[in-house]
Amino acid sequence: MSDIVTAGMVVIGDEILSGRTKDKNVGHLADMLTAVGIDLKQVRIVPDEQADIVEAVNALRARFDYVFTTGGIGPTHDDITADTIAAAFGVPCDYHPDAYPLLEAHYAARGIEFTEARKRMARTPQGASLIDNPVSVAPGFNIGNVYVMAGIPSVFQAMLDNVIPTLRTGAKLLSGSLICTLGEGTIGGPLGEIQKAFPETIIGSYPRFETSGPYTEIVVRSRSAEQRDAALAAVKEMLDSLGNGG
Amino acid sequence: MSDIVTAGMVVIGDEILSGRTKDKNVGHLADMLTAVGIDLKQVRIVPDEQADIVEAVNALRARFDYVFTTGGIGPTHDDITADTIAAAFGVPCDYHPDAYPLLEAHYAARGIEFTEARKRMARTPQGASLIDNPVSVAPGFNIGNVYVMAGIPSVFQAMLDNVIPTLRTGAKLLSGSLICTLGEGTIGGPLGEIQKAFPETIIGSYPRFETSGPYTEIVVRSRSAEQRDAALAAVKEMLDSLGNGG
């Protein structure tokens, strides 16, 4: 179906895998993509190592409409994302004709030396276009269907705000939910039957453990509002028949 | 090197990819593994779909010493992890001889019907051993080098506490860090030289944007305390020479 648009994400970061930093970008990207009707289908978190990054980016860009990466685009030796994406696409990595003067002017205006390290942030794979960075100037970039952004959440979010309006979006997954005080073991059987009866919906069941007793949220998602509403009505009827809230 | 032990993680969850739930298990597993000397090398977040789960689990279990999964082991139709792991290993999935009576007795003692849905939680791939669940009884399981645990953070954490002491652990990565008020563009060049001079260390640079000015944390990790300390000393000397805090 042409109105389904898919995405993958590659988080580049030793610091996430070591536990030193807790990722905040997966949840933000998921929220933003869901809001515009793009389905995030897979996330991979990989170390700052070229072979791992190339493998993940190439696997996901072949499979999904868009790939978003976070991390590794700063000025230090451990920031290898630009070189790595160039390797994934089989193109050279060099100073971008717009990024270099942008950064040069930025540092000149502030009287800061434009060091070799800072110049590294002007490097992109050949043919990439820039993603504006209103927070800290050094840009992200886009090549093919891959969008390369910063790992620092405030910078990632600002870059993503510039990218989202340029993307092709699909039919949104519409969701609705019901909360019940019945356990999943009680509702599980009939809920499975409802899922079978409404194949155009995705019905999820999310339990919590509360000291007051069982508490389960049932979420129905569908690209059709009618199907979603019909499935939700069937769920409500089932819950009522089992004595929810009675 | 035999004293390096590696791990992968597969997070099974439509609700993470849609943004509805924010994952808390990656960071917890990363912390726990780092603490005992196991290197988390890759995380994949995949939807509740058998083909995606099988592909991720088989890719990671072939590559790393251990694989940990979270999510999809409850009683409802969307909990397909047990069947899926069985498919990944090419074995049948059926009631586990210990899990079935465990759950049967648990529900009998509470006067709760042992429904077909609840019986689903006793199913494991043939040959699996159970992982105790002190929070909500329904167990996780281990087959081969794969450890299958709950997605609810409190349950996942309790299961993991039971798993960690059974794992082979390696030499811990020892870390040390220095904070400076110099920007990455200033320290990036010399820091890269220090990384080259200390190949047995992994030197990471983590900037933050503070309104007071640049703020960068430099983290040195190594399995050798001597190498770590020597690299940290070199970093400190470099920072002092550039006027940090002066």
Give B82-129 pLDDT, tens digit per residue. Answer: 999 999 999 999 999 999 999 999 999 999 999 999 999 999 999 999
CATH class of B5-166: alpha beta
B87 vs B83: CA distance, rounded Å? 6
Q: Give the residue range(s) of CATH 3.30.70.600 domains in chain B.
A: 174-241
C-alpha distances (whole Å) from B152 to each of A19, A84, A146, A235, B71 are 19, 35, 32, 23, 7
Decide if A192 and B76 are in contact by the 8 Å CB cutoff.
Answer: yes
**B128-155 pLDDT tens trace:** 999 999 998 999 999 999 999 999 999 9
| Chain B, nearest residue to A10 by Cα | B44
| Helix residue spans in A64-204 (DSSP H) | 81-89, 99-109, 116-120, 153-163, 184-197
C-beta separation of A184 from B75 below 8 A: yes
Of A146, A144, A150, A143, which Cα lies nearest the Cα of A128? A143
| Chain B, nearest residue to A22 by Cα | B27
Decide if A42 and B42 are in contact by the 8 Å CB cutoff.
Answer: no
| Chain A, nearest residue to B25 by Cα | A22
- Asked whether residue B1 carries a pLDDT value surpassing 60, the answer given is no
- Strand A146-149 and strand A66-70: the pairing is parallel
Half-sphere exposure of B185 (CA within 13 A, CB side): 18
Residue linked to tokens 């019945």 = A182
One-letter identity of residue B191: L
B34–chain A Cβ distance below 8 A for any pair: yes
C-beta separation of B223 from B177 below 8 A: no
Estimate to the nearest angstrom the gap between the alpha carbon of B145 and the chain centroid: 14
Q: Where are the beta strands (DSSP E) in A3-143?
A: 5-12, 38-46, 66-70, 93-95, 123-125, 129-131, 140-143
B36–chain A Cβ distance below 8 A for any pair: no
What mean pLDDT comes out for the span A81-101? 97
Q: What ipTM, to 2 d.p.? A: 0.93
**A107-162 pLDDT tens trace:** 999 999 999 999 999 999 999 999 999 998 999 999 999 999 999 999 999 999 99
A137–chain B Cβ distance below 8 A for any pair: no
Query: Could you say which DSSP state residue A236 is in?
Result: H
B234 vs B218: CA distance, rounded Å? 12
B214–chain A Cβ distance below 8 A for any pair: no
- Asked whether residue B211 carries a pLDDT value surpassing 90, the answer given is no
B positions 79-98 inside 8 Å of A (CB): none
C-beta separation of A228 from A201 below 8 A: yes
Residues of chain B neighbouring A13 (CB-CB closer than 8 A):
none
Helix and strand numbers, DSSP H then E, in chain B: 9, 11
B245 burial (CB, 10 Å; 0-12 / 13-18 / 19+) is exposed
What share of chain B in percent tops pLDDT 70? Answer: 98
Residues of chain A neighbouring B195 (CB-CB closer than 8 A):
77-78
Decide if B187 and A120 are in contact by the 8 Å CB cutoff.
Answer: no
Among B26, B38, B177, the residue to mutate for chain A (most A Cβ within 10 A): B26
- Asked whether residue B54 carries a pLDDT value surpassing 50, the answer given is yes
A positions 163-192 inside 8 Å of B (CB): 173, 175, 183-189, 191-192
**A15-39 pLDDT tens trace:** 999 999 999 999 999 999 999 999 9
Lookup: tokens for B104: 């049967």
Helix or strand or coil: residue A121?
A: coil
How many degrees, rounded to 5, is the angle at CA A36 between CA A34 and CA A41? Answer: 40
| Chain B, nearest residue to A39 by Cα | B18
A136–chain B Cβ distance below 8 A for any pair: yes
A77 vs B222: CA distance, rounded Å? 17
Decide if A116 and B219 are in contact by the 8 Å CB cutoff.
Answer: no
C-beta separation of B65 from B34 below 8 A: no
Q: Where are the beta strands (DSSP E) in chain B?
A: 5-12, 38-46, 66-70, 93-95, 123-125, 129-131, 140-143, 146-149, 174-180, 201-210, 213-222
> What is the secondary structure of A145-175 as a DSSP string?
TEEEE-SSHHHHHHHHHHHGGGS---PPPEE
Of A166, A152, A80, B33, which Cα lies nearest the Cα of B8? B33
What is the pLDDT, as a whole number, of residue B238? 96
Question: Which is the CATH superfamily of the domain at A174-241?
Answer: Ribosomal protein S10 (3.30.70.600)
Among B25, B41, B45, the residue to mutate for chain A (most A Cβ within 10 A): B45
Look over chain B and give the mean of its residue pLDDT values, rounded to a whole number: 94
B89 vs B192: CA distance, rounded Å? 44
Q: How far is A190 from chain B (nearest CA, A)?
A: 9
Lowest mean pLDDT segment, chosen from A146-160, A203-217, B213-227: A203-217
How many contacts (CB atoms, under 8 Å) link A and B?
Answer: 200
Sign of CA dihedral A57, A60, A62, A68: negative
Q: Give the residue range(s) of CATH 3.40.980.10 domains in chain A.
A: 5-166
Q: How far is B190 from chain A (nearest CA, A)?
A: 9
Lookup: tokens for A31: 């929220």
Helix and strand numbers, DSSP H then E, in chain A: 9, 11
